[in-house]
């Protein structure tokens, strides 16, 4: 595959895909006649206590210095305690998820990797650690090496192929989609620009599955300081709107769950309420990233953009 910079020099627009209005696409056909895809991403992350000087940090944490025990242990709470509340809930509702896994978290918490595999969850790559982002400041060769390293480490821990990528904190360079396709990955979950999955035809054909930026619990409760009781109403409204539109053109509802955020005891009941409202609906197809990517491929590019 020929590598590009990811930009069209003439107008400074990216070259990953072209514009595609949802009103002029062929209808997306879902299994069982479903009208809505429910894509749940469960984050499995940890902080690297020994970050290097060249590490690109999420701007929200850039004022903090190392070591950072508050953030380090907050993330760890998710992996020591809160994750088990969420796993019990997912078990009870028989919901399937895609795990966004840091390579370092897989190596640090093999017990949890085993819990995910035992449940049949898909494990997608989520970078090295929670405090290390991909960005345009990286050289292509360095980013390509990082992607390969992350994939190989996660596969060594899970003993199954990695097919998807979810960038840490949505960080990408102009070349990231093409580099992911070059590495053999089938999909990414980074771009919140659609209500349907689509093919990035200019980036090696990798499939973009919409990201849950607007309904990301980290963004809602930590960044925007929203009260958790509002979440079931927000998701319920979103699901109702998308199901109504899905009667003619099926849609996707992405949800992003961070255990140290939504697994906290004062918020957890609202996650429970939300997922109960979605589980078991015959018009909703609960699918992993791999399921969705395979479906789009099988439809021979009906949702290509």
Section 86-98 average pLDDT: 98
Q: 302 pLDDT band (50/70/90 cuts)?
A: very low
Structure tokens at 106: 């897989």
Q: Does position 81 have pLDDT exceeding 60, yes or no?
A: yes
H helical segments located in 94-139: 103-108, 110-118
How far is the C-alpha of 24 from the C-alpha of 113, rounded, in Å? 42
Kindly state the average pLDDT of the residues 5-18: 66
Helical (H) or strand (E) element with 148: helix 140-158
Mean pLDDT of the chain: 89
Whether 149 shows a pLDDT value over 90: the answer reads yes
Instruction: Please give the structure tokens belonging to residue 135.
Output: 């960005």
Greater confidence (304 vs 273) lies with 273
What is the pTM (predicted TM-score) of this model? 0.90
Tokens encoding 109: 């918490």
Would you tell me the crossing angle of helices 231-246 and 268-278 to the nearest 10 degrees? Answer: 20
Q: Are 93 and 121 in contact (CB under 8 A)?
A: no
Return all residues near 270 (Cβ < 8 A) that are at least 6 apart: 228, 229, 231, 232, 262
pLDDT value at residue 257: 98
Q: In this structure, are residues 240 and 274 in contact, taking their beta carbons and an 8 Å threshold? A: no
Sign of CA dihedral 228, 232, 233, 239: positive
Average pLDDT over residues 114-122: 98
Could you tell me which residues come within 8 angstroms of residue 245 by beta carbon, excluding any fewer than 6 positions away?
Answer: 195, 251
Q: Where are the domains of the chain?
A: 30-298
Given a contact cutoff of 8 angstroms between Cβ atoms, the answer to whether 37 and 253 are in contact is yes
Query: Quick one: pLDDT band at residue 122, thresholds 50, 70, 90?
Result: very high
* Alpha carbons 228 and 260: distance in angstroms, whole number: 14
Q: Which CATH superfamily is domain 30-298 in?
A: Glycoside hydrolase/deacetylase (3.20.20.370)
Q: What pLDDT, on a 0 to 100 scale, did the predictor assign at position 304?
A: 41
Question: Residue 295's pLDDT band (boundaries 50, 70, 90)?
Answer: very high
User: What percent of the chain is modeled with pLDDT above 70?
Assistant: 88
Helix (H, G, I), strand (E, B) or coil at 113: helix
What is the arithmetic mean of pLDDT over 188-209? 93
When comparing pLDDT for 67 and 244, which is higher? 244
- The pLDDT > 90 percentage for the chain reads 70
pLDDT at 8: 58
Inform me whether the pLDDT recorded for 17 exceeds 90.
Answer: no
Distance CA 2, CA 292 (A): 26
Q: How far apart are CA 83 and CA 88, in angstroms?
A: 9
Predicted confidence at residue 154, as pLDDT, reads: 98
Q: Is the pLDDT confidence value at 2 over 50?
A: no
Average pLDDT over residues 254-271: 97
What pLDDT is stored for residue 215 in this prediction?
A: 96
- Grouping H, G, I as helix, E, B as strand and the rest as coil, residue 254 is strand
Among the listed ranges 11-20, 80-89, 178-187, 208-217, which one has the minimum average pLDDT value?
11-20
Residue 128: per-residue pLDDT: 92
């Amino acid at each position: 595959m020929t590598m590009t910079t990811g930009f069209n020099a003439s107008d400074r627009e990216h070259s990953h895909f072209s514009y595609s209005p949802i009103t002029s696409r062929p209808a997306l056909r879902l299994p069982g006649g479903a009208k809505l895809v429910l894509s749940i991403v469960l984050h499995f992350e940890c902080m690297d206590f020994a970050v290097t000087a060249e590490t690109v940090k999420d701007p929200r944490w850039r004022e903090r210095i190392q070591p950072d025990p508050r953030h380090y242990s907050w993330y760890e709470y998710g992996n020591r305690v809160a994750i088990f509340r969420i796993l019990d809930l997912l078990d009870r509702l028989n919901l399937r998820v895609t795990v966004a896994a840091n390579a370092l978290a897989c190596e640090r918490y093999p017990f949890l990797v085993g819990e995910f595999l035992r449940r049949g969850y898909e494990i997608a790559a989520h970078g090295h650690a929670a405090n290390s982002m991909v960005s345009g400041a990286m050289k292509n060769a360095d980013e390509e090496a990082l992607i390969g390293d992350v994939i190989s480490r996660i596969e060594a821990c899970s003993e199954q192929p990695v097919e998807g990528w979810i960038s840490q904190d949505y960080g990408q360079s102009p070349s990231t989609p093409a580099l992911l396709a070059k590495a053999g990955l089938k999909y990414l979950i980074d771009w919140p620009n659609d209500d349907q999955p689509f093919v990035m035809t200019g980036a090696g054909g990798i499939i973009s599955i919409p990201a849950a930026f607007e309904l990301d619990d980290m963004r809602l409760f930590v960044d925007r300081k929203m009260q958790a009781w509002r979440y079931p109403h927000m998701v319920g409204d979103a699901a109702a709107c998308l199901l109504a539109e899905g009667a003619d053109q099926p849609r996707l509802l992405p949800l992003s769950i961070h255990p140290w955020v939504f697994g906290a005891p004062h918020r957890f009941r609202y996650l429970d309420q939300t997922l109960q409202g979605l589980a078991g609906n015959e018009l909703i197809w609960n699918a992993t990233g791999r399921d969705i990517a395979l479906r789009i491929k099988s439809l021979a590019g009906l949702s290509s953009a």
